[in-house]
Amino acid sequence: MHKARVAIFISGGGTNMAALLYASLMKDSTFEIVLVASNKAEAAGLAIASAEGVKTFVHSHKGHSREDHDAAMEAALVEAKADYLALAGYMRILSDEFVRRWEGRILNIHPSLLPKYKGLETHRRAIEAGDTHAGASVHIVVPELDAGEVLAQARVAICAGETAASLAERVKFAEHQLYPRAVSEYVSRRPAI
Ligand code: GRF
């Protein structure tokens, strides 16, 4: 079976990266992880990917224009022959040109029930608004921030006395279920690239 070749960009802990990676190692997975790349050498997820035998790449954004940094990251994607890019806690905005070149092939996971709470501090904002539920969304990346088509969502109840930290931790459990399924469904319904 042809497996879709998926690269992942991370900036931090990489728990969603790990969820995607271990899902990809399950029998009958529709995708494989061909690269984990980061703008931060200290991103903990890089060590995990490396230990699991996945190719890694680091290019610091510091001292580079957005275009130059993106060009280096894109060269790594091309070298890895990636069909798709999954952003998983990648804390950089990609240049419009990059996004257009990869149109329809970049997915992101965002910790809110989009279109609510685009941007940062999503859990604090949901709690302060008195929402009964928070959650996560997997969406297609378009040039406008957190605005692309939503492919799948997971709803997570907000408990009494919830803090942004406790909610973030529980939403991640839901993210780890959601992201691999959403990636799998997406790559399965698109023709081979
Ligand atoms: C997740 O909450 C994700 O929704 C957001 O960034 C966080 C990444 O966490 N985009 P991790 O590095 O996957 O643990």
CATH code where residue 182 lies: 3.40.50.170
The number of distinct structural domains making up the chain is: 1
Q: Which of 22, 107, 109 for mutating ligand 1's site (highest number of atoms within 8 Å of CB)? A: 109
Answer whether 74 contacts ligand 1 (Cβ < 6 A): no
User: Catalytic site residue 110?
Assistant: yes
Rounded Cα distance, 71 and 131, in Å: 40
Entry field: residues in the chain: 193
Q: Which of 39, 122, 172 to mutate to test the pocket of ligand 1 (most atoms within 8 A of CB)?
A: 172
DSSP labels, 117-174: S-SS-HHHHHHHTT-SEEEEEEEE--SSTT-SPEEEEEEEEPPTT--HHHHHHHHHHH
Q: Which domain holds residue 168?
A: 4-189
Q: What is the pLDDT of residue 1?
A: 72
Q: Is the pTM of this model over 0.85?
A: yes
Compute the distance between CA of residue 147 and CA of residue 62 in angstroms, rounded to an integer: 26
Q: In the prediction, which pLDDT does 192 show?
A: 57
Averaged pLDDT in 10-residue chunks for the chain of 193 residues = 94 97 97 98 96 97 91 97 98 95 97 98 98 98 95 98 98 98 94 60
**Residue 193: predicted pLDDT:** 60
